[in-house]
Amino acid sequence: MRSRRSEVSYTARQRSYRLLLYVLMLVGCVIMLLPFFWMLTTSVKTEAGAMRMPPQWIPAKLHWENYAVAWGMAPFGRYFFNSFFVSITSTIGEVITTILAAYAFAKMRFFGKNVLFAILLGTLMIPGEMLLVPNYVTLTRLGWLDHYEALIIPWMVSVFGIFLLRQFFRSIPDELWDAARIDGCPRGRYLWRVVVPLSKPAVLTVALFKFLGSWNAYQWVLMMTNTESMRTVPVGLATFSSDIGTAYHLLMAASVMAILPILILFFFTQKQFIQGIARTGIK
């Protein structure tokens, strides 16, 4: 009798614990989604409605025309093309260079490997803003300003990506390489046929972060381009703000359009994305 009672109380405790957990998760979910909700509703408000305090969560009338107005205020079609092109090519480039470099640092023996790797990691400590002007000068000398080269090539290497993959590659047993070598498999084929498939989650993590970083890049694109035809979506978003204020309703309409591709990408790669965040601790 006592044991049944304690069982019941245990189940009740478990239920209340779970309820509390769900309530906490729900609160967290609401907190996380609130800015997105505000973005969505603001995108269909009037200018005055967007600035109303306290915020107007559901506008009385939905102004869908904001999307058309925002789209027309800058050449967003071109911006989207550029964002896709630059993000995809730089992601492909970075994945390739990162895999090669990470493999070399993880599995190959060469003179000064550790020193070189330490120097490489050291470059992570230099703030990007400090390098902006020297990089601008370099790209000017190369004649790459206002060209896709300036937006893609300098971003085809990522020290963080190399570090991440190196750590992953190091966990792959050397015996696999010994076996492959006995079977006559050259190192290149071993890398692409064995190491990379085994490291798929890590490689996808690198690719996802690269794509996101590239899609959201603002300052670099603004600095390295002069013509509208070379600019990307984040630069387009900046046109809704000035020194004296921001047209929030239009900015939010444009922002909704800007995050759509990222949302679609997220839906397709949710699992890897979450694994990536769990693996790196980066959001």
Partner 1 sequence: MLRKIVVGLLGALLLGTAAMAANEPVTIDFWHAMSSGHQPNLQALITAFQAEYPHITVTLTYQGSYSALQGKINAAVAAGNLPTMAQVYENWVTPIESILYPIGPHMTMMEVGDIVDGLVPSNTYNGVLTTVPFNKSIMVLYYNADLIATPPATWAEFYDLAKTLTVDTNGDGTIDRFGTGLRPAANPEQFLVYLDQAGGSILNADWTEVTINDAAGMAAIQFLGSLIPYTFVTSDYMSDHMAQVAMFIDTSAGYNYNKTAATNAGYALGVAMLPVGPASQSSMIQGTNLAVFNVPNQTQAQKDAAVLLARFLLRAENTVFWAMKSGYQPVTKSAYETQTWKDFVATNSYQQAMSAQMLLGFSQILHPNYGDMRTILSTKFDEIMRSATGALDGLNSMAEEIKPLLSE
Positions that interact with partner 1 (CB under 8 A): 47-48, 51-53, 73-74, 132-133, 136-137, 140-141, 145, 219, 222-223, 226-228, 235, 238-245, 247
Least distance (Å) between residue 8 CB and partner 1: 47
Least distance (Å) between residue 247 CB and partner 1: 7
Instruction: Give 99 or 251: the residue with its C-beta nearer to partner 1.
Output: 251
Q: Say how far apart CA 120 and CA 162 lie, in whole Å.
A: 9
Instruction: Give 63 or 107: the residue with its C-beta nearer to partner 1.
Output: 63
Instruction: Give 132 or 172: the residue with its C-beta nearer to partner 1.
Output: 132
Instruction: Give 122 or 245: the residue with its C-beta nearer to partner 1.
Output: 245
Query: Crossing angle for the helix pair 113-122 and 159-170, nearest 10 degrees?
Result: 140
Task: Please state, as a whole number, how many other Cβ atoms lie within 10 Å of the Cβ of residue 281.
Answer: 6
Q: Say how far apart CA 50 and CA 190 lie, in whole Å.
A: 57
Least distance (Å) between residue 244 CB and partner 1: 4
Residues 6+ apart with CB under 8 A from 146: 224, 225, 226, 227, 230
Least distance (Å) between residue 107 CB and partner 1: 40
**Helix/strand/coil percent split, the chain, to 5:** 75, 0, 20
Instruction: Give 16 or 219: the residue with its C-beta nearer to partner 1.
Output: 219
Least distance (Å) between residue 260 CB and partner 1: 20
Instruction: Give 86 or 99: the residue with its C-beta nearer to partner 1.
Output: 86
List, as one string, the DSSP characters of 70-119. Answer: HHHTTTHHHHHHHHHHHHHHHHHHHHHHHHHHHHHHHH---TTHHHHHHH
Picking from 275, 264, 263, 250, the residue whose alpha carbon sits closest to that of residue 65 is: 250
Instruction: Give 102 or 253: the residue with its C-beta nearer to partner 1.
Output: 253
Tokens of 196: 């990379």
Secondary structure (3-state) at 154: helix
Least distance (Å) between residue 110 CB and partner 1: 36
Name residue, tokens 């470099």.
101
Picking from 193, 231, 226, the residue whose alpha carbon sits closest to that of residue 75 is: 231
Least distance (Å) between residue 268 CB and partner 1: 32
